Structure 1
Amino acid sequence: MHTPANDYNATPARRALDALAGDTEDRAAMDALASSDVLIPVPDDAATEDALDPATVALPVMEQPGGDPTVPVFTSEPAMAALLPFVSRYRLVPLGALASQWPSEDLALTIDAGSPHPLTLTSEGVRTLLARS
């Protein structure tokens, strides 16, 4: 039977996050995550031209409970809809490519916030652990 829960866990990135929850040193899981595509929410107020420009990606920034800024990305549409049901547009971006261009300021990356096994990395962690492709 096809259910949204099955879709939620179906992506290689989601399976990698689940593996990393059990073993943070799992190199195969980190490599799989780095080579996966993620969904980056596009705010509804963003201009269509900006949302479709392949040369740039606007990073949505949210404040974490401690006040630290983080960029939320997601492994699937169901994962994104669970936390941000109001987002109607997104960009599909290779996580490794995003990480290799990560800003130098102190900006964290959270993958699948609100899921059973989210992953939050510091800006240094993003560049060193995920910029593999």
Structure 2
Amino acid sequence: METPANDNSVSPAQRALDTLAENTEDTAALDTLAGSDVLVPVPDDANDQDAADPGMLALPVLEQQGGRQVVPVFTSELEMADLLPYVSRYRMVPLGALAAQWPADDLSLSIDAGSEHRLTLTSDGVRTLLARP
């Protein structure tokens, strides 16, 4: 399904995901994505003070089949509600800044996990492709 170029309801980050679904090495799309803000769901067990602390960010970790752990982030409230309708709190975070501080373990990142053009990156991929100074 192609999105019309003049569709204002599609964010630049979503257009970048569409481009990357066709060409995973498109550097302009990777740069756009890295420069975008994403919604990071606040885990249910995070208290209000921690959820509001700009110096701390609790990552929601989901376990997938085979024990692989992934952090879901989203380009819009609609994308988040499609996959995680029960989430009531989230934080807006620059994806490049999040990637620059990504843990060095086997934690993957999934952007818009419920959409047909989702992008999931390994820990190394997050730091290599999306981290920006």
What is the TM-score normalised by the length of structure 1? 0.91
- Would you say how many aligned residue pairs link Structure 1 and Structure 2? 127
C-alpha RMSD of the superposition: 1.3
Give the structure 2 partner of residue 21 of structure 1. 21
Give the unaligned 5+ runs of structure 2. 1-6
Partner Cα separation in structure 2 for residue 66 and residue 17 of structure 1? 26
What is the TM-score normalised by the length of structure 2? 0.91
* Residues 44-123 of structure 1 aligned to structure 2 (within 5 Å): 44-123=44-123
Query: Partner of 2:21: helix, strand, or coil?
Result: helix
Partner Cα separation in structure 2 for residue 22 and residue 114 of structure 1? 18
Aligned sequence identity (%): 69
Partner Cα separation in structure 2 for residue 79 and residue 70 of structure 1? 17
Following TM superposition, by how much is the alpha carbon of 1:128 offset from its aligned partner in structure 2, in angstroms?
Answer: 0.5
Partner Cα separation in structure 2 for residue 82 and residue 72 of structure 1? 12
Partner Cα separation in structure 1 for residue 24 and residue 98 of structure 2? 21
Partner Cα separation in structure 2 for residue 106 and residue 44 of structure 1? 23
Partner Cα separation in structure 1 for residue 15 and residue 101 of structure 2? 24
Once superposed, which parts of structure 1, at least 4 consecutive aligned residues long, lie more than 4 Å away? none
Query: Partner of 2:85: helix, strand, or coil?
Result: coil
Partner Cα separation in structure 1 for residue 21 and residue 65 of structure 2? 21
